[in-house]
Amino acid sequence: MTISKKVINAQVMESNSHVFRCPICSSGMVMVDKSQLVCLDNHSFDLSKNGYINLAPQAHVTKYDKTLFEARKTVMSSGFFNPVLEYITAIASEHLEGREQAFILDAGCGEGTHLSAILSQLPGDTIGAGIDLAKEGITAASKEYPGSIWSVADLANCPFQANQFDVILNILSPANYAEFTRLLKSDGLFIKAVPESGYLKELRAIFYEEGERKDDSDPVVRFKEHFDSVTTKRLTYLFPLAPALLAPLIRMTPLTWGASNEKIEEALGTAIENITIDFTIIMGVKRVD
Ligand SMILES: C[S@@+](CC[C@H](N)C(=O)[O-])C[C@H]1O[C@@H](n2cnc3c(N)ncnc32)[C@H](O)[C@@H]1O
Ligand SMILES: [Zn+2]
Protein backbone atom coordinates (compact mmCIF):
# COMPACT_ATOMS: atom_id res chain seq x y z
CA MET A 1 0.00 0.00 0.00
CA THR A 2 1.40 3.42 -0.87
CA ILE A 3 1.20 6.07 1.80
CA SER A 4 -0.21 9.37 0.55
CA LYS A 5 1.89 12.52 0.49
CA LYS A 6 -0.52 14.07 2.96
CA VAL A 7 0.09 11.25 5.45
CA ILE A 8 3.87 11.43 5.01
CA ASN A 9 3.86 15.20 5.53
CA ALA A 10 1.41 14.93 8.46
CA GLN A 11 3.68 12.38 10.17
CA VAL A 12 6.66 14.74 10.01
CA MET A 13 4.56 17.56 11.45
CA GLU A 14 3.12 15.38 14.19
CA SER A 15 6.51 14.04 15.28
CA ASN A 16 7.84 17.60 15.38
CA SER A 17 4.76 19.51 16.52
CA HIS A 18 6.75 21.00 19.43
CA VAL A 19 8.55 23.30 16.96
CA PHE A 20 5.38 25.13 15.91
CA ARG A 21 4.15 28.41 17.36
CA CYS A 22 0.72 29.83 16.67
CA PRO A 23 1.09 32.73 14.22
CA ILE A 24 -1.87 34.50 15.87
CA CYS A 25 -1.25 34.22 19.62
CA SER A 26 2.28 32.72 19.78
CA SER A 27 1.26 29.78 21.97
CA GLY A 28 2.34 26.17 21.43
CA MET A 29 0.52 23.86 19.02
CA VAL A 30 -0.45 20.19 18.80
CA MET A 31 -1.53 18.08 15.89
CA VAL A 32 -5.05 16.69 16.03
CA ASP A 33 -6.22 13.69 13.95
CA LYS A 34 -3.21 14.11 11.63
CA SER A 35 -5.20 16.83 9.92
CA GLN A 36 -5.02 20.04 11.99
CA LEU A 37 -2.59 22.04 14.04
CA VAL A 38 -4.38 23.58 17.01
CA CYS A 39 -2.92 26.02 19.53
CA LEU A 40 -3.59 26.31 23.27
CA ASP A 41 -5.96 29.18 22.51
CA ASN A 42 -7.85 27.06 19.96
CA HIS A 43 -6.70 28.72 16.76
CA SER A 44 -6.79 25.86 14.27
CA PHE A 45 -5.16 25.36 10.89
CA ASP A 46 -6.01 22.51 8.49
CA LEU A 47 -3.54 20.50 6.47
CA SER A 48 -4.11 20.80 2.73
CA LYS A 49 -4.78 17.72 0.65
CA ASN A 50 -1.07 17.41 -0.13
CA GLY A 51 -0.10 17.95 3.46
CA TYR A 52 1.19 21.49 3.71
CA ILE A 53 -0.07 23.79 6.42
CA ASN A 54 -1.17 27.35 5.86
CA LEU A 55 0.01 29.34 8.89
CA ALA A 56 -0.26 32.80 7.38
CA PRO A 57 -3.02 34.57 9.31
CA GLN A 58 -4.00 36.57 6.22
CA ALA A 59 -4.19 35.42 2.60
CA HIS A 60 -1.51 37.02 0.44
CA VAL A 61 -1.70 37.45 -3.30
CA THR A 62 1.82 37.51 -4.66
CA LYS A 63 3.26 37.79 -8.15
CA TYR A 64 4.91 34.40 -7.59
CA ASP A 65 2.32 32.22 -9.32
CA LYS A 66 2.05 28.62 -10.48
CA THR A 67 3.66 29.12 -13.89
CA LEU A 68 6.57 31.02 -12.33
CA PHE A 69 7.25 28.17 -9.90
CA GLU A 70 6.94 25.57 -12.68
CA ALA A 71 9.50 27.56 -14.68
CA ARG A 72 11.76 27.86 -11.61
CA LYS A 73 11.61 24.12 -11.06
CA THR A 74 12.51 23.43 -14.71
CA VAL A 75 15.48 25.78 -14.59
CA MET A 76 16.67 24.76 -11.12
CA SER A 77 16.45 21.05 -11.97
CA SER A 78 18.77 21.58 -14.96
CA GLY A 79 21.85 22.02 -12.78
CA PHE A 80 21.74 25.80 -13.14
CA PHE A 81 22.33 26.34 -9.42
CA ASN A 82 24.38 23.24 -8.64
CA PRO A 83 27.64 24.97 -7.67
CA VAL A 84 25.71 27.29 -5.32
CA LEU A 85 23.78 24.41 -3.77
CA GLU A 86 26.91 22.26 -3.46
CA TYR A 87 28.67 25.06 -1.63
CA ILE A 88 25.75 25.66 0.75
CA THR A 89 25.40 21.91 1.36
CA ALA A 90 29.09 21.58 2.24
CA ILE A 91 28.86 24.46 4.73
CA ALA A 92 25.66 23.08 6.29
CA SER A 93 27.13 19.53 6.49
CA GLU A 94 30.21 20.77 8.26
CA HIS A 95 28.07 22.69 10.73
CA LEU A 96 25.79 19.70 11.40
CA GLU A 97 28.55 17.15 11.86
CA GLY A 98 28.12 15.12 15.04
CA ARG A 99 24.61 16.37 15.81
CA GLU A 100 22.05 13.68 16.57
CA GLN A 101 19.06 15.29 14.99
CA ALA A 102 19.09 18.60 13.22
CA PHE A 103 16.52 21.08 11.94
CA ILE A 104 17.07 23.20 8.87
CA LEU A 105 14.72 25.97 7.73
CA ASP A 106 14.55 27.43 4.24
CA ALA A 107 12.93 30.86 4.65
CA GLY A 108 11.41 31.89 1.30
CA CYS A 109 11.82 28.39 -0.14
CA GLY A 110 9.66 28.90 -3.24
CA GLU A 111 8.85 25.52 -4.81
CA GLY A 112 11.25 23.66 -2.53
CA THR A 113 13.82 22.34 -5.02
CA HIS A 114 16.81 23.87 -3.23
CA LEU A 115 15.84 22.59 0.23
CA SER A 116 15.10 19.14 -1.15
CA ALA A 117 18.43 18.98 -3.02
CA ILE A 118 20.35 20.11 0.07
CA LEU A 119 18.52 17.69 2.38
CA SER A 120 19.27 14.78 0.06
CA GLN A 121 22.99 15.32 0.81
CA LEU A 122 22.63 15.75 4.59
CA PRO A 123 22.29 12.98 7.20
CA GLY A 124 18.88 11.26 7.04
CA ASP A 125 17.78 12.49 10.44
CA THR A 126 17.94 16.13 9.39
CA ILE A 127 14.41 17.53 9.36
CA GLY A 128 13.70 20.18 6.74
CA ALA A 129 11.12 22.94 6.98
CA GLY A 130 10.30 25.26 4.10
CA ILE A 131 8.17 28.38 4.40
CA ASP A 132 7.01 30.81 1.77
CA LEU A 133 4.22 33.33 1.51
CA ALA A 134 3.32 32.10 -1.97
CA LYS A 135 0.79 29.28 -1.67
CA GLU A 136 1.58 28.05 -5.19
CA GLY A 137 5.21 27.46 -4.26
CA ILE A 138 4.38 25.53 -1.09
CA THR A 139 1.69 23.51 -2.91
CA ALA A 140 4.28 22.42 -5.48
CA ALA A 141 6.87 21.65 -2.77
CA SER A 142 4.48 19.50 -0.70
CA LYS A 143 3.48 17.49 -3.79
CA GLU A 144 6.96 17.06 -5.17
CA TYR A 145 9.03 16.62 -2.01
CA PRO A 146 7.03 14.89 0.73
CA GLY A 147 8.81 14.25 4.01
CA SER A 148 9.55 17.81 5.09
CA ILE A 149 7.46 20.44 6.86
CA TRP A 150 5.99 22.74 4.19
CA SER A 151 4.12 25.81 5.36
CA VAL A 152 2.63 28.92 3.82
CA ALA A 153 3.94 31.49 6.25
CA ASP A 154 5.37 34.97 6.53
CA LEU A 155 9.06 34.99 7.33
CA ALA A 156 8.42 38.19 9.31
CA ASN A 157 6.17 36.14 11.65
CA CYS A 158 7.61 32.64 11.49
CA PRO A 159 5.27 30.01 12.96
CA PHE A 160 8.01 28.32 14.97
CA GLN A 161 9.23 28.41 18.57
CA ALA A 162 12.51 30.11 19.48
CA ASN A 163 15.85 28.26 19.42
CA GLN A 164 14.76 25.38 17.17
CA PHE A 165 16.93 25.52 14.05
CA ASP A 166 20.54 24.48 13.55
CA VAL A 167 20.68 26.12 10.12
CA ILE A 168 18.51 28.71 8.36
CA LEU A 169 18.80 29.19 4.60
CA ASN A 170 17.63 32.30 2.80
CA ILE A 171 18.20 32.05 -0.93
CA LEU A 172 17.27 34.97 -3.19
CA SER A 173 14.53 35.91 -0.72
CA PRO A 174 13.88 38.75 1.69
CA ALA A 175 15.24 38.36 5.22
CA ASN A 176 13.99 39.15 8.69
CA TYR A 177 17.05 39.15 10.90
CA ALA A 178 15.17 39.49 14.19
CA GLU A 179 13.05 36.45 13.38
CA PHE A 180 15.97 34.37 12.15
CA THR A 181 17.94 35.20 15.30
CA ARG A 182 14.97 34.18 17.44
CA LEU A 183 14.60 30.85 15.61
CA LEU A 184 18.25 29.78 15.56
CA LYS A 185 19.70 27.59 18.30
CA SER A 186 22.42 29.33 20.32
CA ASP A 187 25.12 28.00 17.95
CA GLY A 188 22.88 28.16 14.87
CA LEU A 189 24.17 29.12 11.43
CA PHE A 190 22.50 31.47 8.98
CA ILE A 191 23.32 31.16 5.26
CA LYS A 192 22.07 33.78 2.82
CA ALA A 193 22.54 33.78 -0.95
CA VAL A 194 22.32 37.19 -2.60
CA PRO A 195 22.62 37.96 -6.31
CA GLU A 196 25.55 40.06 -7.48
CA SER A 197 25.83 42.43 -10.42
CA GLY A 198 26.65 39.68 -12.92
CA TYR A 199 23.64 37.51 -12.08
CA LEU A 200 21.66 36.89 -15.30
CA LYS A 201 23.43 39.86 -16.89
CA GLU A 202 22.63 38.56 -20.38
CA LEU A 203 18.92 38.99 -19.54
CA ARG A 204 19.45 42.29 -17.76
CA ALA A 205 21.08 43.64 -20.91
CA ILE A 206 17.78 43.09 -22.73
CA PHE A 207 15.35 44.15 -20.03
CA TYR A 208 17.13 47.07 -18.39
CA GLU A 209 18.21 50.27 -20.04
CA GLU A 210 21.90 51.00 -19.79
CA GLY A 211 22.69 52.84 -16.59
CA GLU A 212 19.56 51.65 -14.82
CA ARG A 213 20.67 50.69 -11.33
CA LYS A 214 19.54 48.10 -8.96
CA ASP A 215 19.59 48.43 -5.17
CA ASP A 216 23.22 48.95 -4.22
CA SER A 217 22.93 48.68 -0.42
CA ASP A 218 25.47 46.19 0.90
CA PRO A 219 23.76 43.14 2.48
CA VAL A 220 26.99 42.12 4.23
CA VAL A 221 26.95 45.31 6.31
CA ARG A 222 23.40 44.58 7.55
CA PHE A 223 24.27 40.93 8.09
CA LYS A 224 27.21 41.85 10.33
CA GLU A 225 24.91 43.95 12.52
CA HIS A 226 23.08 40.75 13.49
CA PHE A 227 25.45 37.78 13.21
CA ASP A 228 28.95 36.88 14.40
CA SER A 229 31.84 35.13 12.62
CA VAL A 230 30.55 36.41 9.29
CA THR A 231 32.26 35.08 6.16
CA THR A 232 31.41 35.46 2.50
CA LYS A 233 32.07 33.50 -0.65
CA ARG A 234 31.55 34.83 -4.17
CA LEU A 235 30.53 32.22 -6.74
CA THR A 236 30.57 33.29 -10.38
CA TYR A 237 30.21 30.94 -13.32
CA LEU A 238 28.75 30.57 -16.79
CA PHE A 239 25.96 28.05 -17.21
CA PRO A 240 25.50 26.67 -20.76
CA LEU A 241 21.86 27.44 -21.52
CA ALA A 242 20.06 24.77 -23.57
CA PRO A 243 17.66 26.60 -25.97
CA ALA A 244 14.66 24.93 -24.28
CA LEU A 245 15.58 26.65 -21.00
CA LEU A 246 15.38 30.21 -22.33
CA ALA A 247 11.58 30.55 -22.06
CA PRO A 248 11.39 29.16 -18.49
CA LEU A 249 14.37 31.32 -17.49
CA ILE A 250 12.56 34.43 -18.74
CA ARG A 251 9.38 33.30 -16.98
CA MET A 252 10.97 32.47 -13.64
CA THR A 253 12.67 35.74 -12.82
CA PRO A 254 11.20 38.90 -11.31
CA LEU A 255 13.65 40.76 -13.63
CA THR A 256 11.08 40.44 -16.41
CA TRP A 257 8.09 41.62 -14.36
CA GLY A 258 6.53 44.63 -16.01
CA ALA A 259 8.33 44.02 -19.31
CA SER A 260 6.35 44.65 -22.51
CA ASN A 261 5.38 41.76 -24.80
CA GLU A 262 7.82 43.18 -27.38
CA LYS A 263 10.70 42.94 -24.93
CA ILE A 264 9.73 39.38 -23.99
CA GLU A 265 9.55 38.44 -27.70
CA GLU A 266 12.93 40.08 -28.28
CA ALA A 267 14.44 38.09 -25.40
CA LEU A 268 12.88 34.83 -26.62
CA GLY A 269 14.46 35.43 -30.03
CA THR A 270 17.93 36.07 -28.62
CA ALA A 271 20.53 33.31 -28.79
CA ILE A 272 21.95 33.19 -25.27
CA GLU A 273 24.47 30.37 -25.20
CA ASN A 274 25.71 30.92 -21.68
CA ILE A 275 24.10 32.67 -18.77
CA THR A 276 26.05 34.20 -15.90
CA ILE A 277 25.39 33.09 -12.35
CA ASP A 278 26.94 35.45 -9.80
CA PHE A 279 26.22 35.13 -6.11
CA THR A 280 27.61 36.00 -2.76
CA ILE A 281 26.95 33.47 -0.04
CA ILE A 282 26.99 35.17 3.37
CA MET A 283 27.31 33.02 6.47
CA GLY A 284 27.24 33.88 10.15
CA VAL A 285 26.39 32.42 13.53
CA LYS A 286 23.77 33.63 15.95
CA ARG A 287 24.92 36.45 18.18
CA VAL A 288 24.36 35.48 21.77
CA ASP A 289 24.45 38.46 24.15
C1 LIG B 1 13.12 35.03 -5.97
S2 LIG B 1 12.09 33.93 -5.06
C3 LIG B 1 13.26 32.76 -4.46
C4 LIG B 1 12.63 31.44 -4.15
C5 LIG B 1 13.63 30.32 -3.84
N6 LIG B 1 14.39 30.60 -2.63
C7 LIG B 1 14.55 30.12 -5.04
O8 LIG B 1 15.73 30.52 -4.94
O9 LIG B 1 14.11 29.58 -6.04
C10 LIG B 1 11.65 34.89 -3.60
C11 LIG B 1 10.66 34.14 -2.71
O12 LIG B 1 10.49 34.87 -1.49
C13 LIG B 1 9.13 34.69 -1.10
N14 LIG B 1 8.77 35.74 -0.14
C15 LIG B 1 8.77 37.09 -0.34
N16 LIG B 1 8.38 37.71 0.81
C17 LIG B 1 8.14 36.74 1.74
C18 LIG B 1 7.71 36.75 3.11
N19 LIG B 1 7.45 37.89 3.76
N20 LIG B 1 7.56 35.57 3.73
C21 LIG B 1 7.81 34.39 3.10
N22 LIG B 1 8.22 34.33 1.80
C23 LIG B 1 8.39 35.48 1.13
C24 LIG B 1 8.37 34.80 -2.42
O25 LIG B 1 7.06 34.28 -2.31
C26 LIG B 1 9.28 33.97 -3.33
O27 LIG B 1 8.94 32.61 -3.36
ZN1 LIG C 1 -3.24 30.75 18.80
* Smallest-distance ligand from the CA of 21: 2
Q: What is the pLDDT of residue 215?
A: 63
Q: What is the pLDDT of residue 213?
A: 52
pTM of the model: 0.96
Please give the number of the atom of ligand 1 that sits closest to the Cα of 134: 25
- Which of 81, 133, 150 to probe ligand 1 with, by most ligand atoms within 8 A of CB? 133
Contacts of 186 (CB under 8 A, 6+ apart): 163, 286, 288
Indicate whether 72 pLDDT > 70.
yes
CA distance 185 to 224: 18
* Smallest-distance ligand from the CA of 24: 2
In which band, very low, low, confident or very high, does the pLDDT at 60 lie, cut at 50, 70 and 90? Answer: confident
CA distance 190 to 196: 19
**pLDDT tens, position by position, 188-217:** 999 999 999 999 999 999 988 755 555 667
- Among 8-17, 163-172, 216-225, 265-274, the minimum mean pLDDT is found in 216-225
Give me the amino acid identity at 42.
N
**pLDDT tens, position by position, 109-125:** 999 999 999 999 998 79
192 lines ligand 1 (CB under 6 A): no
Q: How far is CA 91 from CA 58, 228, 246, in A?
A: 35, 16, 31
Please give the number of the atom of ligand 1 that sits closest to the Cα of 131: 21
62 lines ligand 1 (CB under 6 A): yes
CATH number of 5-286: 3.40.190.10, 3.40.50.150, 1.20.1280.50, 3.40.50.1100? 3.40.50.150
Average pLDDT score over the chain: 94
Indicate whether 9 pLDDT > 80.
yes
Indicate whether 100 pLDDT > 90.
no
Please report, rounded to a whole number, the percentage of residues in the chain having pLDDT higher than 90: 84
